[in-house]
Amino acid sequence: VGIGTGEAFTGTYGINYGRIADNIPPPEIVVSLLKAVKIKNVKIYDSDHGVLRAFKGSGLELVVGLSNDYVKEVNSSEDRAMEWVKENVHSWLPDTHIRGIAVGNEVLGGADQDLEAALFGAIKNVYKALSRLKLTDLIKISSPHSQAVFANSYPPSNCTFKSSIFQYMKPILDFFSEIDSPFSLNIYPFIAYKGDPQHIDLNYALLQPNHGIDDPISNLHYDNMFDAEIDAAYAALEAAGYGKMEVEITETGWASGGDEDETGASPQNAQTYNYNLRKRLFKRKGTPRRPKIVIKAYIFALFNEDSKPGPGSERHYGLFKADGSISYDIGLSGVSSWHASSSFYALK
């Protein structure tokens, strides 16, 4: 894959910088790594001030998270929302390039109904704060969803929102239509494959050459699951009356290891998925259903996070190991020279 200037990266290929680990490098080192591999768009799951400080003056573009822990209190008070935005966004501008706020993460379709009910109010209050601070042109607001919000996604054009979730989703979609925010979705072909390896072609999930599938309703052909899952979201949005909304992918990745029953989790598959995905995103093209809308995606994740709960795979999504070396090669140039010159080892 040819690497262009740093500029060409803005907009299609980003990365999630999760930090649920006790052995990863400090944020200052992470910034130098991101610059070396020319990844400009970065998403974090909180608004940690150490991270915001490290990103200051770097030119990297950051999406910060208002985590699920804060959703209820920000929903209940406009003042609390303003306080949060001032403290974690406004006071860091313009030197730290905060360009988005993700309000909550995978709230809808989870187990907490009070949290689901609070999400829209939290989104609205954060937006009001941005508006009062005249930041709505600079900072986009979003709320990443898991695929648990959909009732069915096969074939893609058959996809609809779960009716139980739609009562919470509708006001958010109405509001996002007004303010021109995207529909943010986390998709994992790995998890779909792991759940049904008998019926899903591994090559289809890994964006490798394969026969693909034909959608009998739309007559569109899909040669990979990544595109099919995005178009399923477009179909659900269309069916609900939001045909103009753009889908952006806030997480996608493949585990390089996992528990014994986690079929498909391997360094080779993770390398293949991430390499092919990067190549696909750099083509700057759309999906069969939306050929003109260039796909943007944030890869999950920058590091293996050793303290994450759940199945083994959860701790093996990193493009990089904790020591800053690559987990597997996906063609990111600049790693080896960065590693050679890095002061990381001096810090250990």
> Catalytic residue numbers?
106, 251
Q: With DSSP H G I counted as helix, E B as strand and the rest as coil, what are the percentages for the chain, rounded to 5?
A: 40, 15, 45
Look at the alpha carbons of 179, 162, 43, 243 in this order and tell me if their dihedral is positive or negative.
negative
Q: Which residues pair with 251 in a beta bridge?
A: 186
Q: Taking the CB of residue 181, how many other CB atoms lie within 10 A of it?
A: 21
Which residue type, as a one-letter code, is found at position 193? Answer: Y
- Angle of CA points 191, 111, 151, to nearest 5°: 55
Rounded to whole angstroms, what are the CA distances from 91 to 75, 126, 227, 249? 22, 15, 38, 28
For 336, other C-beta atoms within 10 Å of its C-beta total 12
Distances (CA, A) of 345 to 332, 340, 342, 348: 21, 10, 7, 5
Residue 295 CA to residue 228 CA, distance in Å, equals 12
d(CA 100, CA 103): 10
Taking alpha carbons only, the member of 190, 225, 228 closest to residue 207 is 225
**Residue 59 Ramachandran class (φ > 0 left, ψ -120 to 50 alpha, else beta):** left
- The SS3 assignment for 110 reads coil
Angle between helices 68-76 and 78-88 (to 10 degrees): 130
- Residue 321, classified by CB atoms within 10 Å of its CB into exposed (0-12), middle (13-18) or buried (19+), is middle
- H helices of the chain, in order, are 27-36, 49-55, 68-76, 78-88, 113-132, 163-179, 189-195, 202-205, 225-239, 267-282, 335-341, 344-347
